[in-house]
Structure 1
Amino acid sequence: MIHFSSFIIGYILGNFLFALIVGKYFLHADPTKNGSGNPGTANMGAVFGKKWGILTLIGDAVKSILALTITWLLFKSQLAMAYCGLGLMLGHCYPVTNHFKGGKGVAVVGITMLAVDFKMALIILLIALVLTIIMKNLTIPPLFFTYCFGIASLSLGKTNRGLIFLVIGIIMTIRFWKDIIDFVQGKGKKVDILFSIKKKLGIKI
């Protein structure tokens, strides 16, 4: 019952897609009809500008933190928060409020990992960041940190937690499938994080 309740809390709050909220109330535009059509941070930033992408990210982060905080206050269980994260992921990727068409859940998963096991998540996320810089790719690193967290949890005897994150990894793989194919075929969009940071800081490149 605790785990089901945690899942429901996550799913309900996961349905709030801030790309759609920001698009409707601030931009008077539908992000699902622009760019890649994905109602997420990357598409919002690419189509409407970084400011709106960041605002979308903050909104999705806040809903995730709120769901996980409510779950912790009610049940005081890391496993319950993992179930909440699964609900968040499904709610974000397949929201009832948008005909089951949602985002890819990268921020949702990252925050859930940090809430469930901060030290392990921080190490894995830092490795994923390095991969992002080296590969100049935003598809493979999120898959890496999700599956890696699940496998690491299993290796530590956290079976239920590990299986939950492997399921989350499968959901993310489905959502990223087109991007994975593009990456394999060498057509994936490259994102140079270091270049962007240097340009922002005014450092000569």
Structure 2
Amino acid sequence: MSQLLMLAISYLVGCISGSYILGKLFYKKDIRNYGSGNAGTTNAMRVFGKKFGIITFLIDFIKGAVLILILKFIFKLDNTKLLLASLFCILGHDFPFNMNFKGGKGVATTLGTFAIFNFLPTLISVVFWIVFTLIFNTASISSIAFFILLFLINLYFKTFSDIQVILLIIVVSIGIFRHNSNIYRLITGKENKIGARKR
């Protein structure tokens, strides 16, 4: 598989949006027109309910996990190419061409790709993510912490080349950047708790 084809496929897989597909299929609604306007798990949960949010998370997680699973164990790609594939899958989720580049924030998709790429650091990051969620009951705080810890714990457990560290930084930076509106609301005290539904 050529690198260009691999990146194109990774991006297109990322463009599969769980919340958008389910919203159109079951509610005849575009999730981006409701709540925060984000096509991700948290907004899906707030707008359409917890069950809808869980299914959204699973779709976005599985697409990333299956992509890296195939590339890692069938095509035997090295870590640099796997990180590139993860990055482009996340870019597809966050900026899908078929949704006018207005997608989600990439937490579930990042989790899915990294769960296969490097399982133990990802698992530890998820544990901290859950702890932060239970403590603060705010999705944005726990998600931002997840991205930061994912980077730090990966570096602790594994030796990366310079290009791989740069790719890790880009993945984490995109994840945090996608939460910029949440960061503003956290600073101003206007951020919503998990489960606070918007219509």
Q: Give yes or no for TM over 0.5.
A: yes
Q: CA deviation at 1:90?
A: 0.4
CA distance in 2, matches of 1:162, 1:152: 12
Compute the RMSD of aligned alpha carbons: 2.0
Match in the other structure for 1:108: 109
**162-171 vs 141-150, which deviates more?**
141-150
**Cα distance, 1:97 vs structure 2:** 0.7
CA deviations over 1:159-194 (Å, ceiling 9, x no partner): 3333222111211222110101111222211238xx
Alpha-carbon separation, structure 2, partners of 1:62 and 1:152: 22
Structure 2: give runs of 5+ residues left out of the alignment: none
Correspondence for 1:46: 46
Deviations for 1:41-71, whole angstroms, at most 9, x for unmatched residues?
A: 1111111112211221222122112211221
Instruction: Pick one of 177, 180, 183 that aligns with 2:180.
Output: 177
Query: Residue 173 of structure 1 aligns to a residue in which SS?
Result: helix
Tell me the SS of whatever aligns to 1:75.
coil
> What residue identity is the alignment partner of 1:164?
L
- Report the counterpart of residue 167 of structure 1 in structure 2: 170
Q: Does 2:35 correspond to 1:58?
A: no
Normalised by the size of structure 2, how large is the TM-score?
Answer: 0.86
- Which residue identity does 1:29 align to in structure 2? K
1:145 aligns with 2:149: no
Residue type at the aligned position of 1:136: N
Matches within 5 A, 1:54-203: 54-72=54-72, 73-155=74-156, 156-159=158-161, 160-191=163-194
Q: Distance between the aligned counterparts of 1:51 and 1:124, measured in 2?
A: 24
Which of 26-35 and 137-146 deviates more? 137-146
Q: Which runs of 5+ in 1 are unaligned?
A: 193-205
Contact preservation (8 Å) 2:41, 2:56: yes
- Which structure is higher in RCO with an 8 Å CA cutoff and minimum separation 6? 2
In our comparison, the structure showing a higher alpha carbon Rg is 1
State the TM-score, normalizing by the size of structure 1: 0.84
